[in-house]
């Protein structure tokens, strides 16, 4: 059995028999976890183990564990700072900030790998234009060169821990005020201006960026369709001009910003036809089942190969991690940084 193009969520901290049966469907390829699925490191390790045992090859298990406001697993995990604090440090000490970014990438990834999570949807590559309601301090910096530099180090830290990186939200979510969870953001800049947001991807793709999440933003002067559903953005620009060969994820298809495409079945078809390898459907089990029914018979061998590369490597026993000097040292480096209040997004 291969990995299908659909990533789903779970209702709670335990895998129910009904959910296990759904995850066995050949069109399902992954599971995204949220705070509601987490009680403790031991519990979530059991949960990821059960998910991985459902079928072969194992389903991908993902989570949003950026740090700051967007960190699903908290108690029992290091409280990670928002990316923006690393960007502020860069303004004072570029060398130190790059080292801190690599440490944070490693720490985030190694703690997740120790409980069986394959990858986190990180790092954020959006530029901090100072206007976005939902990006804000999740972005490293306003400068594309600084974002590329810090995200590149963060990505290297993740790789050292056995985890691939997922850059988001292509081609850039930082210049719009609306939150795509609640409305369809519209970026009315011409392509020449949007190209500044794309520069971190231009830098990181040759360095081995393994995955990208597309934005639910409509760049009206380029293509009327939101990027997640735009063949121009995903196939012509990302795969064509930028030469990206990794996996492309849609953002959650249940977000309000995706409703302009039509019903959930239409959204899934449109995203896959535009170039997504995997679509995410969260917080609506009926919608997920409808997508499974709609995609009956769907197969894309190239996507299956790209998705298979996202499995985590270097499995590490959690107790061994907690006893390691590397873990102690990494935690010391972030101990002086504080987190803002948590922000629980739906996808």
Give the residue among 306, 292, 291 at the shortest CA–CA distance from 26: 292
Catalytic annotation, residues: 181, 251
Which two tokens mark 288? 């997920």
**Gap between the Cα atoms of 194 and 33, Å rounded:** 32
Residue found by looking up tokens 């270097």 in the block: 314
The torsion region of residue 60 among left (phi > 0), alpha (psi -120 to 50) and beta comes to beta
Q: Which residues of 255-272 are buried (b: 16+ CB within 10 A; e: fewer)?
A: bebbeebeebeebbbbbb
User: Edge to edge, what strands does the sheet with 278-281 contain?
Assistant: 119-120, 60-63, 28-33, 6-8, 278-281, 247-252, 211-214, 166-170
């Amino acid at each position: 059995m291969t990995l299908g193009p659909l990533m789903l969520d779970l209702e709670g901290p335990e895998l129910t028999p009904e959910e296990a049966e759904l995850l066995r469907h050949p069109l399902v390829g992954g599971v995204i976890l949220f705070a509601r699925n987490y009680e403790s490191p031991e519990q979530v390790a059991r949960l990821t183990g059960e998910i991985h045992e459902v079928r072969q090859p194992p389903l991908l298990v993902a989570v949003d564990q950026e740090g700051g406001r967007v960190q699903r697993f908290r108690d029992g995990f290091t409280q990670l700072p928002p990316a923006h604090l690393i960007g502020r440090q860069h303004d004072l000490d570029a060398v130190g900030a790059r080292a801190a970014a690599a440490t944070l990438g490693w720490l985030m990834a190694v703690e997740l790998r120790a409980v069986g999570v394959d990858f986190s949807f990180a790092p954020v590559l959006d530029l901090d234009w100072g206007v976005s309601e939902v990006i804000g301090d999740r972005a490293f910096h306003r400068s594309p060169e600084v974002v590329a530099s810090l995200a590149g180090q963060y990505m290297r830290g993740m790789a050292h821990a056995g985890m691939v990186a997922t850059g988001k939200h292509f081609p850039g979510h930082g210049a719009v005020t609306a939150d795509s969870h609640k409305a369809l953001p519209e970026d009315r800049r011409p392509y020449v201006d949007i190209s500044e947001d794309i520069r971190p991807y231009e830098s990181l793709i040759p360095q081995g960026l393994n995955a990208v999440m597309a934005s639910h933003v409509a760049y009206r002067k380029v293509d009327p369709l939101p990027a997640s559903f735009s063949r121009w953005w995903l196939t012509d620009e990302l795969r064509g001009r930028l030469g990206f060969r990794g996996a492309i994820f849609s953002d959650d298809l249940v977000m309000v910003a995706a409703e302009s495409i039509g019903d959930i079945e239409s959204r899934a078809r449109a995203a896959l036809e535009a170039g997504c390898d995997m679509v995410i459907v969260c917080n609506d089990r009926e919608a997920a089942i409808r997508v499974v029914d709609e995609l009956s018979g769907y197969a894309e061998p190239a996507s299956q190969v790209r998705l298979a590369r996202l499995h985590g490597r270097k499995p590490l026993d959690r107790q061994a991690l907690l006893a390691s000097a590397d873990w102690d040292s990494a935690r010391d480096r972030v101990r002086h940084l504080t987190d803002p209040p948590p922000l629980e997004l739906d996808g």
